[in-house]
Structure 1
Amino acid sequence: MSTIYTNNAKLGKPAVADRNWNLPLNANADAIDALAPVGGLCVTTAEIPSASLNVQAAAGRFQKRDGTVGAFAGSALTTLPQNQTCSLYLTDAGTLTISTTGYPTTAHVRLATVVTSATTILGLTDDRVVCGVVGTDALPYMPLAGGTLVDGANVAFGTTAGTKIGTATTQKLGFWNATPVVRPGTYVQGYATNTRTLGAYTSTPASTAYTGVASGQTGTPYAQAADLNSLRAAYENLRVFSENTTQLLNALVNDLRAMGLLG
Structure 2
Amino acid sequence: MATSYTGNVKLGMPAVADRNWNLVLNANAGTLDTLAPVGGLCVTPAEVPSASLSVRVAAGTYRKKDGTAGTFAGAASFALPAAKVTSLYLSDAGSLLTATGGYPATACVRLATVTTGPTTVLSVADDRLVCGVVGTDVSAFLPLAGGTLADGAGVAVGTSSGAQIGTASGQKLGFWGATPIVRPGPYTQTYSTASRALAAYSPTVETTSFSGVASGQSGSPYAQVSDLNNLRSAYENLRALAENVAQVLNALINDLRSTGLLS
Q: Residue 257 of structure 2 aligns to a residue in which SS? A: helix
Residue 214 (structure 1) shift? 3.0
1:217 alignment counterpart: 218
- The one-letter amino acid paired with 1:254 is N
1:24-81 Cα deviation digits (max 9, x unpaired)? 2111111100000000000111122323211111100000000000000001311111
Residue 226 (structure 1) shift? 3.1
- The one-letter amino acid paired with 1:144 is L
1:75-125 Cα deviation digits (max 9, x unpaired)? 131111122211111110001110011111111111111122222222211
Segments ≥4 residues shifted beyond 6 Å: none
Q: Residue 37 of structure 1 aligns to a residue in which SS? A: helix
Greater CA drift, 245-254 or 10-19? 10-19
Structure 1 length-normalised TM? 0.91
1:188 alignment counterpart: 188
1:102-159 Cα deviation digits (max 9, x unpaired)? 1111111111111222222222111101111111111121111222222332212123
Q: Residue 76 of structure 1 aligns to a residue in which SS? A: strand
Q: Residue 214 of structure 1 aligns to a residue in which SS? A: coil
Report the RMSD for the aligned CA atoms in angstroms.
2.0
Greater CA drift, 156-165 or 203-212? 203-212
Counterpart Cα distance in 1 of 2:209 and 2:151? 58
- The one-letter amino acid paired with 1:170 is G
Counterpart Cα distance in 1 of 2:151 and 2:118? 53
Equivalent positions of 1:170-181 (< 5 A) are 170-181=170-181
Residue 222 (structure 1) shift? 4.1
Equivalent positions of 1:58-73 (< 5 A) are 58-73=58-73
Equivalent positions of 1:1-263 (< 5 A) are 1-207=1-207, 213-214=214-215, 216-217=217-218, 222-263=222-263
Identity score, percent: 62
Structure 2 unmatched runs, 5+: none
Q: Is the CA contact (8 Å cut-off) linking 2:183 and 2:262 kept in structure 1?
A: yes
Q: Is the CA contact (8 Å cut-off) linking 2:205 and 2:234 kept in structure 1?
A: no
Count of residue pairs brought into register by the alignment? 262
- The one-letter amino acid paired with 2:230 is S
Counterpart Cα distance in 2 of 1:98 and 1:32? 27
- The one-letter amino acid paired with 2:101 is T
Greater CA drift, 121-130 or 152-161? 152-161
Q: Is the CA contact (8 Å cut-off) linking 1:215 and 1:221 kept in structure 2?
A: no
Counterpart Cα distance in 1 of 2:206 and 2:105? 69
Q: Is the CA contact (8 Å cut-off) linking 1:56 and 1:77 kept in structure 2?
A: yes
* CA pair 199-50 structure 1, distance change in 2 beyond 3 A: same
Counterpart Cα distance in 1 of 2:67 and 2:171? 22
